[in-house]
Structure 1
Amino acid sequence: MKKAVLFFSILLSTASAFAQTWSLDKGHSKIAFTVTHHMISEVDGYFRKFDAKMTATKDDFSDAVFEMTAETASINTENERRDNDLKGENFFDAANKPTMSFKSTSFKKVSNGKYKMDGDLTIKGITKPVTLAVTMVGPEPNPNNKKPAVGIKAVGTINRKDFGLGASMPSALVSEEVELKATGELQKN
C-alpha cells in the first residue's frame, strides 16, 4: 500500500512539474464590459485592478485553465457618479464583496485559433457558469525577452440580474444583458 501511495505521489508531482504557467502582461490587457443605456446607446466600462494567469500541460492548450480576479472597487466607466453607484450595494457592493473572479472548467478548440471556454464566474458571492468565445494568437516569442507569449480575446454575455447586479434597476434604464470582453497578453514563466 505504501508503494502505491508513493507511486501516485511521484506521478502527481511529476505531472505538476510539466505544467506551464503563463502570467498576464497587465500593460497590454483589459477586462471590460458594455451595457445598453435607455435602450438606445452603449456604456462601456472596465476594471483598473485585475490579474489573470493560465496553466497548461499540453502544447495545444487543450487542458488550459484560466483564472482571473478583479477588484470591484476599481470599476471605471469614465463617470464618477455612475462609478460610485456601481460600487454600492445595489450593484457590486465593493465594500463587502471586494473581488470578482473567473475560473475556467474547460477549454476546447473550435477551429484554428478559436476556442470555447466554459467556466465559473463569481460576482457578489454568486457563482454561475458562463461560456466565452476565445480567439488566441501564438505562441510567438516576445520581441523584448524572447519568452513565448500568446494574445487572447475572450467575449461573452451574462445577465446582470443573475449576479444580483442592479436587481431593482429597470431593463429600460440599463439592459439586463452585459457584454464581457477580456483581452490581453500572457507570457510563459
Structure 2
Amino acid sequence: MTLMTRRTLLAGLAALPLSRPAHAALTQYELVSQGTSVDFTFDLSGLAQSGTMPIHSADIQIDLSDLINSQVSVTLNAAEARTKLPFARTAMLSAGVLDVQQFPTIHFASTEVRLGEGGRISRGAEITGDLTLRGVTHPITLQADLHRPPGSTADNLDMLSIRLTGSLNRHDFGASGYSDLVQDTVGLDIQAEIKKAE
C-alpha cells in the first residue's frame, strides 16, 4: 500500500461544518487502497522499529450533517503484518504476541466520536471504539483528522482523507511475549482516503 502524503493532509481544507437536522442520514464510504496504510511502531531493545498491516475490510458510514453519528468498523489482516526486520516479524506473529494462527485478524468498531475545536473533526477530535486483538476486547481512543482533498469545493464530499493516531499497551490484550526485548506501548498511525460508495 502507498502512504498518503503528508502534504495531502496538511493542505486539506477545513473539516465539515455541522448542523443538526431532525433526520440525519449516514453516507456509505469505501476505502481507496492506493491512499491507505496502517502503520505501527514499537521499541525493540531500545531502538525504534516500524511495520505495516493491511486492511482486510472496512465499513465506513459518515453522517455529513452531524459527524458524531458517524460509524467506522475496520478489520485488519494481522497474519500479513510486516516489519523491516524479518526476525522481528516472526516473533510478532508468534503465539506469544499476535498469535495469528488462532487470531488472524484484529477488529476495531467505533462507539463514540468527539468533535474538536469549533465542532470539527479536523482539530483535536477523537474516535473511541472497541479493539479486539487475540480475542480480547478493550476500548481505545484515537486522535482523528478528516479533510477534503486540496482544491476541492466545500460542497464536494465525494473524496475525504482520514488520519487516526494513538497507541495501545500490548499487555492489555495478552500480547506479552518478548517483554524483555519489546516495550509495552505500540504506536498506531492509520491514514486513509475514502470515497462515496456508488
The answer to whether TM tops 0.5 is yes
Aligned residue among 180, 186, 190 for 1:182: 190
Displacement of 1:141 in angstroms is: 8.6
SS in 2 for 1:185: strand
- Could you tell me which runs of 5 or more consecutive residues in structure 2 were left unpaired when the two chains were aligned: 1-22
Q: What is the aligned counterpart of 1:80 among 74, 86, 90? A: 86
- 61, 77, 89: which one aligns with 1:71: 77
In structure 2, the residue matched to 1:34 is 41
State the shift of 1:52 in Å: 2.4
For the Cα contact (< 8 Å) 2:38–2:55, is it kept in 1? no
Between 152-161 and 78-87, the greater mean CA deviation after superposition: 78-87
Contact 2:115 2:126 in 1 (8 A): yes
Structural RMSD (CA): 2.3
Q: How many aligned residue pairs are there?
A: 169
1:140 and 1:148 in contact (8 A); partners too: no
1:13-64 CA-to-partner distances (Å, cap 9, x unmatched) read xx79x3211111111111111011222x210011134332321334342211
2:170 is aligned with 1:160: yes
Q: Distance in 1 between matches of 2:145 and 2:55?
A: 23
1:43 to 14, 37, 49: 49
Larger radius of gyration: 1
Deviations 1:100-142 (A, max 9, x none): 0101101121124131111000100000000100111127798
What is the match of residue 128 of structure 1? 138
2:94–2:100: 8 Å Cα contact kept in structure 1?
yes
Q: Percent identity?
A: 23
Question: Normalising by structure 2, what TM-score?
Answer: 0.77
Say which SS state the counterpart of residue 162 (structure 1) adopts.
Answer: helix
Structure 1 gap segments, 5+ residues each: 1-14
Contact 2:146 2:160 in 1 (8 A): yes
With normalisation by structure 1, the TM-score equals 0.80
- Secondary structure of the residue that 1:33 maps to in structure 2? strand
Residues in 2 aligned to 1:179 and 1:37: alpha-carbon distance in whole angstroms: 13
Return 132-141 or 150-159, whichever deviates more: 132-141
